[in-house]
Amino acid sequence: MEKKIMLTGDRPTGKLHIGHYFGSLVNRVKLQDEFESYILVADVQALTDNFNNPEKVRKNVREVVMDYLSVGIDPEKCTIYIQSMIPEVPELTIYYSNFVTIARLERNPTVKTELAAKRDVFGESVTYGFLGYPVNQAADITAFDATIVPVGEDQLPLIEQCREIVRKFNSVYGEVLKEPEAYLSEGKRIKGLDGNEKMGKSLGNAIYLSDSPEEIYKKVMSAVTDPKRIKKDDKGNPDVCMVYYYHKLFSNKEECNGVCSECKAGTRGCVACKKQLAENISEYLRPIREKRKYYEEHPEVVDQILIEGTNRARKKAQETMKRVKGAMKLDYFESDK
């Protein structure tokens, strides 16, 4: 039986952190054995709200790919490619744009939330490019006949939008496109060092996969602990402490139990507790960091992976394009053969 096709991706706007790791990367590493897998670095989409900062997007393409490779995404199993290098995708975007109204895009909850947070970029009036990025994302997915799209909850409205486009397109041109499904990753959502529900670069509360042990140490020292615990021998409440929260992710059961009971009894100081956590996180991330170092020192290997991935991806997208153009009666000088 043929494997189902999985596709997902990230905007290259920064390095990936442990929130990405537990939230999606671990899951992708598992899925790459089960599905024919594609992962795109969405540089075109990143430009829709970073159009005035092309250097940032370009630089982060390689950073994100090095993060992928260092956590175990295997270029032999998974096609990693750069979105802008597949010209069939913007071509499809144009055709699909006939099947989406402006009002529908303006109502898209993901777009609405992002716009509210991006007043500094767009002011009162959104660009055509940003408003239309869900159409572009529908092209990303359908160009590869992907039916499985692993994403976080925030992306569900984009997948729904894609499904609508597929249904409308197929109702006019025949069963040409495959209707994808979102695959909600079972991943954990990781809070920031400050206790914020979300870990993110702009929030300054993230530990990156590429952070050095020194950086990890510094960040862990700033993590928010039980605010009511002022003196070392005050009894603490580990349930409101970010250090304990992270111990549960990075330390073994025995250590966690010790942290919990000693904190409650007021026999363990926060500084010692943080030191131990920083060490455990550093140790946990060591293999990832070491693998990443190899790719940092061998940029030509990363380039080669991207070139090969992009070539493979392009072939696949070209096959879809042929089908789409045939169905749309745009296959001039070929249909009479």
Order the strands of the 181-184 sheet from edge to edge: 78-82, 36-41, 5-10, 148-151, 181-184
Q: Is 10 in the site for ligand TRP (CB under 6 A)?
A: yes
Q: Is 42 in the site for ligand TRP (CB under 6 A)?
A: yes
Interface positions, 219-258, toward ligand TRP (CB under 6 A): none
Instruction: Output phi, psi for 209, to 5 deg.
Output: -60, -25
Name which position in 5, 11, 88, 209 contacts ligand TRP (CB under 6 A): 11
Please choose, out of 4-12, 121-129, 231-239, 242-250, the segment that lies near ligand TRP by the rule CB under 6 A: 4-12
* Buried-exposed string 186-203: b where 16+ CB fall within 10 A, e elsewhere: ebeebbbbeeeeebeeee
CB neighbours of 32 closer than 8 A, spacing ≥ 6?
6, 73, 74, 77, 78
Q: Is 137 in the site for ligand TRP (CB under 6 A)?
A: yes
**Least distance to ligand TRP, CB of residue 286, Å:** 27
What is the number of other CB atoms lying within 10 angstroms of the CB of residue 213?
15
Name which position in 66, 141, 305, 321 contacts ligand TRP (CB under 6 A): 141
Please choose, out of 37-45, 185-193, 237-245, 249-257, the segment that lies near ligand TRP by the rule CB under 6 A: 37-45
Nearest-CB residue to ligand TRP?
42
Q: How many residues bind ligand TRP (CB under 6 A)?
A: 14
Q: Is 8 in the site for ligand TRP (CB under 6 A)?
A: yes
Q: Is 163 in the site for ligand TRP (CB under 6 A)?
A: no
Overall size of the chain counted in residues: 337
Q: Are 272 and 252 in contact (CB under 8 A)?
A: no
**Least distance to ligand TRP, CB of residue 299, Å:** 24
Which of 27, 137 has the CB closer to ligand TRP? 137
Which of 54, 174 has the CB closer to ligand TRP? 54
**Least distance to ligand TRP, CB of residue 158, Å:** 6
- Please count the CA atoms within 13 angstroms of the CA of 291 that sit on its side-chain side: 17
For 98, 119, 247, 272, 308, the CA distances from 193, given in Å and listed in that order, are 45, 26, 12, 17, 38
Q: Is 20 in the site for ligand TRP (CB under 6 A)?
A: no
Please choose, out of 8-16, 207-215, 226-234, 278-286, the segment that lies near ligand TRP by the rule CB under 6 A: 8-16
For residue 137, which amino acid is it? Q
What's the angle, vertex CA 158, arms to CA 154 and CA 163, rounded to 5?
A: 135
**Least distance to ligand TRP, CB of residue 83, Å:** 7
Q: Is 7 in the site for ligand TRP (CB under 6 A)?
A: yes
Q: Is 151 in the site for ligand TRP (CB under 6 A)?
A: yes
Which of 141, 263 has the CB closer to ligand TRP? 141
Give the DSSP letter string of 251-317.
S-HHHHHHHHHHHHHT-S-HHHHHHHHHHHHHHHHHHHHHHHHHHHH-HHHHHHHHHHHHHHHHHHH
Interface residues with ligand TRP (CB under 6 A) are: 7-11, 40, 42, 45, 137, 140-141, 149, 151, 155
